[in-house]
Amino acid sequence: MSVKDELLFDFAVNMPRVLVSGRTTVLDNVKKVMLLTDTEITVFNGQRFTSLKGSGFVITQLKDERMLVAGKVEEIRFFETS
Amino acid sequence: MRHHRKIRIEGTDLPGIVNKCIRNGILLKDLRYKDQLESTVEVKDDDYRRLKKIAGHSYRMTTISEGGTIPFLNKIKSNIPTIIGAFLLGALIFYQGLFIAEIRVDGYRSITEAEIRQTLADAGLEEGVRKPGNYDNIKAALYENHRKITWVSIYEDGRSIRVNIAEAGKAEEAKEKDMTPAHIVASRSGIIEKITPLQGNARAQKGDYVNKGDILISGRYKYQSTDYSKGDGFFYMYSHAEGKVLAKVPRQVTFYMQKAQPSEKLTGRSIPGLYIRIGDMQIDTAKIMNRYKVSVRRETVLIDLVRPLPLKISFVEVRETEAKKRRISPEKRKAVTEAAIRQYKREEMTRGEEIVSYDIAFSETENLIIADVFMEVLEDIGEERKIDMKNEEKSEKDR
């Protein structure tokens, strides 16, 4: 990845950024929570939306636009309003 | 460790309150969705107050539990009797751990356990007393009182004390057979009771009176040679005589005793009291109240515990007595003399020696009774004496 791409990636504060590792998911740039259940979480990132589908979701921490989610993830979807 | 709360949030719009928290910088932890109307979350105590303010009347919040230092201290404050009880229990357990509950003795063979325990008790080590910590003086007492003990180990095992000892073995070295020509002679005068020659010829028999130095078993043999060239003369062969010679030996021993012996007579007056001992502390009311010059103490044990704490409660009675002197009766003086003879046998006579008979003659001085005891003691009087072969042959020729 070029330096320009890296800078764009780091400073894209209104875009979805998701890190998934085992049963832990990190959602960055969380501006607003749209939907919150134990099977589905949808958040607004500023320009787009991120949606997690799965089971047994627990938000272990929510601070400074970063959401840590524990639970089994089956599907991640990104979408935007037309 | 900071003060935090686990709260239940009841309301229709969970994402709404979460978004308010994001906007106000309130940290949320362990957010669990239960159903459409209810969720649980963990927040700091400071944040909880802000959260209540921003939530308004749209949500209902209930504290499920609290954590951190302050709630812990508050919990302790509200449970002071329980804490004091736990502390006292801990103190009791610690205090009882300072005392000996049991003593185990291992490794003894010829010495009895009772003897070892008596020595330990005399040295201050017994059930119910405080652990001494240093056992050097107890080890020294064991070594001193029991010569057979070669090694002692004393260590604490919880509230028990383990005493391990090792005794000297009976490793008798094989005696090298002595072939030096020798007679068995009488070490003292006496009447022969039994003579058992293992090697050599017996020169005395049962009932003979022998003087000190008389040959009892001879190590010299007289023989005639079958070699014709040596002629018809007698020759002598020498050996190392061996055997056992038991003889009745007279002994005289004198014992002394006082004519009058002190005795105590009860006056009928007494002081009742209670003796209580808990651990190291003890109270004896009878001892405090006692004003008699001479008294005897009678104790009836009501409670005597070692576990969980050394505790002894006794009923005590101190009885006043009068000291008097009573002249010793003939029966008593005979009994005292016989006891002295038994003690003499125990202390002065070696194994194998036996008193066959004795006769007591009493005489008196101003204050004393003198008991002269004439004994017949059965003992081994045989002792080895080397043979001077040159002198023996010369004396034989001179005859």
In this predicted structure, what is the pLDDT of residue B48? Answer: 92
Interface of B with A (CB under 8 A): 14-15, 18-19, 21-22, 25, 27-33
Q: Which residues contact residue B19 at a Cβ distance below 8 angstroms, ignoring those fewer than 6 apart? A: A32, A33
> Quick check: A33 contacting B, CB < 8 Å?
yes
Q: Does domain B4-74 have CATH number 3.10.20.30?
A: no
Q: Inter-chain contact A31–B22, Cβ cutoff 8 Å? A: yes
User: Which amino acid is present at B167?
Assistant: E
In this predicted structure, what is the pLDDT of residue B85? Answer: 92
Q: Inter-chain contact A59–B31, Cβ cutoff 8 Å? A: yes
Interface confidence: ipTM more than 0.85:
yes
How many of the other CB atoms lie within 10 Å of CB of B242? Answer: 18
Contact pairs from chain A to chain B, CB under 8 Å: 45
Average pLDDT of chain B? 87
Using a 10 angstrom Cβ sphere, with 0-12 exposed, 13-18 middle and 19 or more buried, the burial of residue B161 is buried
Mean pLDDT across the stretch B381-396? Answer: 80
Q: Inter-chain contact A38–B18, Cβ cutoff 8 Å? A: no
Q: Are B371 and B380 in contact (CB under 8 A)?
A: no
Instruction: Break chain B into its structural domains and give their ranges.
Output: 4-74, 102-167, 182-247, 253-259+328-379, 264-324
User: What does the alpha-carbon distance between residue B324 and residue B383 come to, in Å, rounded to a whole number?
Assistant: 53
List, for residues B43-53, the tens digit of each pLDDT value: 999 999 999 99
Q: Which residue has better confidence, B71 or B32?
A: B32
- Cα–Cα distances in angstroms (integers) from residue A77 to residues A44, A59, A74, B132, in the given order: 12, 18, 10, 77
Q: Which helix (H) or strand (E) holds B323?
A: strand B311-327
Q: Inter-chain contact B15–A34, Cβ cutoff 8 Å? A: yes
Q: Which residues contact residue A39 at a Cβ distance below 8 angstroms, ignoring those fewer than 6 apart? A: A53, A54, A55, A57
Whether the pLDDT of residue B398 is over 80: the answer is no
Q: Which domain holds residue A47?
A: 3-79
Q: Which chain A residue is nearest to residue B31, measuring alpha carbons? A: A59
CA angle B137/B139/B144 to nearest 5° reads 90
Q: Are B64 and B7 in contact (CB under 8 A)?
A: yes
User: What does the alpha-carbon distance between residue B352 and residue B31 come to, in Å, rounded to a whole number?
Assistant: 96
Q: Inter-chain contact A38–B32, Cβ cutoff 8 Å? A: yes
Which residues from chain B sit within 8 angstroms of residue A60, using beta carbons?
A: 29-31
Instruction: Find the CB nearest B22 among A30, A38, A57.
Output: A30
Which residues from chain A sit within 8 angstroms of residue B44, using beta carbons?
A: none
| pTM (two decimals) | 0.41
> Quick check: A38 contacting B, CB < 8 Å?
yes
List, for residues B344-358, the tens digit of each pLDDT value: 888 888 877 888 899
User: What does the alpha-carbon distance between residue B244 and residue A76 come to, in Å, rounded to a whole number?
Assistant: 112
Please determine whether the domains at B4-74 and B102-167 fall in the same fold group of CATH: no
User: Which amino acid is present at B229?
Assistant: S
In this predicted structure, what is the pLDDT of residue B171? Answer: 53
List, for residues B96-129, the tens digit of each pLDDT value: 888 888 899 988 888 888 889 999 988 888 888 8
Which residues from chain B sit within 8 angstroms of residue A41, using beta carbons?
A: none
In this predicted structure, what is the pLDDT of residue B224? Answer: 81
Q: Which residues contact residue B128 at a Cβ distance below 8 angstroms, ignoring those fewer than 6 apart? A: B99, B100, B306, B310, B312
Pick the closest to residue A37 from B15, B276, B100, B10 (CA basis).
B15
Q: Which chain B residue is nearest to residue A59, measuring alpha carbons? A: B31
Instruction: Find the CB nearest A60 among B19, B21, B30.
Output: B30
DSSP for B137-192 reads HHHHHHHHH-TTEEEEEEEEETTEEEEEEEE----PPPPPPP-S-EEEEESS-EEE
Q: Inter-chain contact A35–B33, Cβ cutoff 8 Å? A: no
Q: Which residue has better confidence, B39 or B290?
A: B39
Number of domains in chain A: 1
Q: Which chain A residue is nearest to residue B30, measuring alpha carbons? A: A60
Architecture of domain B102-167: Roll (3.10)
How many of the other CB atoms lie within 10 Å of CB of B182? Answer: 22
> Quick check: A34 contacting B, CB < 8 Å?
yes
Q: Which chain B residue is nearest to residue A29, measuring alpha carbons? A: B22
Instruction: Find the CB nearest B31 among A32, A58, A65.
Output: A58
Share of chain A above pLDDT 90, in %: 73
Mean pLDDT across the stretch B134-158? Answer: 88
CATH of the domain at A74: 2.60.40.2000
Q: Inter-chain contact A57–B28, Cβ cutoff 8 Å? A: no
List, for residues B166-208, the tens digit of each pLDDT value: 987 655 444 567 788 899 999 989 999 999 888 888 988 899 9
Q: Which chain B residue is nearest to residue A36, measuring alpha carbons? A: B15
Choose, out of A61, A65, A66, the residue to mutate when testing the contact with B (most B CBs < 10 Å): A61
